[in-house]
């Protein structure tokens, strides 16, 4: 199996505690965070957190054939669909940023939809997401384009984050190149794969960010690419048998979690925003912060 949903832990637990064996590893055992903060919480010390401030951590081991051996053990944090505004608690977002920083990942990926319909929360987006201490790569989502993509791009760039709209960057990490390819939003028809890949390395460690999962179908097949996406909120309100059919009909066959697609891999984040009350109820999905540990794997073992 190329990816294992290793464990899900309370966001109030430390990174050290999270490295201990977990009692359950299946998605069905996933639990929401503890209601009471354990130990010092810089935001609400000793306070009872509200239900809307909670989120789920997912920890995933991702076996990537063709990846540079030097990148074995590389750690990535992935947030998506934060939808800053009334429907998402600011405390939840701040706690998510703090949890990412506590784990000191090599890279942070943000895959779009920072706002919903109103331009009002735009300054709050930049304020709330300003604290990451690792290098951050950003792509935009459909709602960002509908509200104000230019504002968000320039705001993130002021923070020193790299915003990718059908472009790529090659980083040198641990003595080997990592290509980060950011494809613009496919939901609004802006995903230009050819332009994104033009001049990029054709092998080695290549990580793709794009908001809408179906863009995976446009990637070059059998290329050992890993795509990180969001957009679906894991189905938002899941009714078994019905939600999947509705999403498929809407051209969204990839709803949540890990997929193999034509020799590439895809992870669909459930998104940090919405949920736990308000007009955007969740059922069967949870606000998510995902962590990945990349493991070097031979191509032959990728489909075992």
Q: Rounded distance, CA 77 to CA 55, Å?
A: 14
Please, which residue, 142 or 215, has the CB nearer to Fe ion? 142
Least Å from the CB of residue 284 to Fe ion = 19
Least Å from the CB of residue 207 to Fe ion = 20
Least Å from the CB of residue 65 to Fe ion = 30
* Residue 294 · residue 67 · CB < 8 Å: yes
Please, which residue, 68 or 145, has the CB nearer to Fe ion? 145
* Residue 60 · residue 12 · CB < 8 Å: no
Cα distances (angstroms) measured from residue 147 to each of 38, 131, 167, 259: 38, 23, 22, 30
Q: Rounded distance, CA 287 to CA 271, Å?
A: 5
Residue with tokens 């998402």: 88
Residue with tokens 């935009």: 140
Least Å from the CB of residue 191 to Fe ion = 13
Please, which residue, 141 or 182, has the CB nearer to Fe ion? 141
* Residue 162 · residue 179 · CB < 8 Å: no
The bridge status of strand 226-229 relative to strand 176-182 is: unpaired
Least Å from the CB of residue 45 to Fe ion = 35
Least Å from the CB of residue 142 to Fe ion = 5
By Cβ distance, which residue is nearest to Fe ion?
231
Please, which residue, 206 or 247, has the CB nearer to Fe ion? 247
* Residue 112 · residue 185 · CB < 8 Å: yes
Least Å from the CB of residue 211 to Fe ion = 6
- Maximum separation of any 2 CA atoms in the chain, in Å: 52
Site string for Fe ion, 96-115 (x = CB under 5 A): -----------------x--
Please, which residue, 95 or 143, has the CB nearer to Fe ion? 143
Site string for Fe ion, 185-224 (x = CB under 5 A): ----------------------------------------
Q: Rounded distance, CA 287 to CA 285, Å?
A: 7
Q: Rounded distance, CA 46 to CA 186, Å?
A: 43
Please, which residue, 74 or 139, has the CB nearer to Fe ion? 139
Binding of Fe ion at residue 141 (CB under 5 A)? yes
Neighbours of 189 (CB within 10 A): 11
Please, which residue, 9 or 231, has the CB nearer to Fe ion? 231
Least Å from the CB of residue 38 to Fe ion = 33
Applying CB under 5 A, the site for Fe ion has a residue count of: 4
Q: Which region, judged by CB under 5 A, interacts with Fe ion, from 15-23, 40-48, 62-70, 231-239?
A: 231-239
Please, which residue, 142 or 227, has the CB nearer to Fe ion? 142
Binding of Fe ion at residue 142 (CB under 5 A)? yes
Binding of Fe ion at residue 12 (CB under 5 A)? no
String of DSSP letters for 237-277: B--TTTHHHHHHHTT----SEEEEETTEEEEE---SSS-SS
The residues that touch Fe ion, with contacts defined as CB under 5 A, are: 113, 141-142, 231
């Amino acid at each position: 199996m190329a990816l294992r949903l290793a464990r899900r832990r309370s966001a109030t637990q430390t990174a050290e505690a999270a490295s201990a064996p977990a009692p359950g590893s299946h998605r069905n055992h996933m639990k929401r965070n503890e209601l009471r903060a354990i130990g010092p919480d810089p935001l609400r010390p000793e306070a009872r957190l509200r239900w809307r401030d909670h989120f789920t951590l997912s920890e995933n081991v991702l076996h990537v054939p063709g990846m540079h051996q030097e990148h074995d053990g590389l750690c990535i944090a992935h947030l998506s669909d934060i939808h800053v505004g009334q429907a998402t608690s600011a405390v939840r977002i701040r706690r998510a940023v703090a949890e990412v920083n506590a784990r000191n990942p090599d890279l942070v990926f943000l895959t779009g939809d920072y706002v919903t319909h109103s331009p009002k929360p735009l300054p709050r987006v930049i304020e709330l997401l300003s604290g990451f201490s690792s290098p951050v790569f950003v792509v935009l989502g459909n709602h960002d384009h509908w509200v104000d993509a230019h504002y968000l791009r320039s705001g993130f760039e002021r923070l020193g984050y790299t915003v990718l709209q059908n472009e790529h960057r090659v980083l040198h990490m641990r003595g080997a190149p990592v290509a980060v390819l950011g494809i613009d939003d496919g939901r609004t028809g802006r995903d230009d794969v050819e332009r994104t890949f033009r001049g990029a390395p054709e092998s080695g460690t290549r990580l793709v960010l794009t908001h809408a999962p179906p863009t995976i179908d446009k990637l070059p097949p059998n290329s050992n690419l890993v795509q990180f996406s969001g957009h679906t909120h894991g189905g938002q309100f899941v009714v078994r048998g019905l939600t999947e059919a509705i999403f498929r009909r809407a051209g969204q066959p990839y709803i949540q979690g890990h997929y193999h697609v034509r020799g590439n891999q895809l992870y669909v984040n459930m998104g940090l925003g919405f949920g736990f009350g308000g007009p955007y109820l969740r059922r069967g999905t949870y606000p998510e912060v995902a962590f990945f540990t990349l493991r070097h794997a031979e191509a032959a073992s990728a489909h075992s």
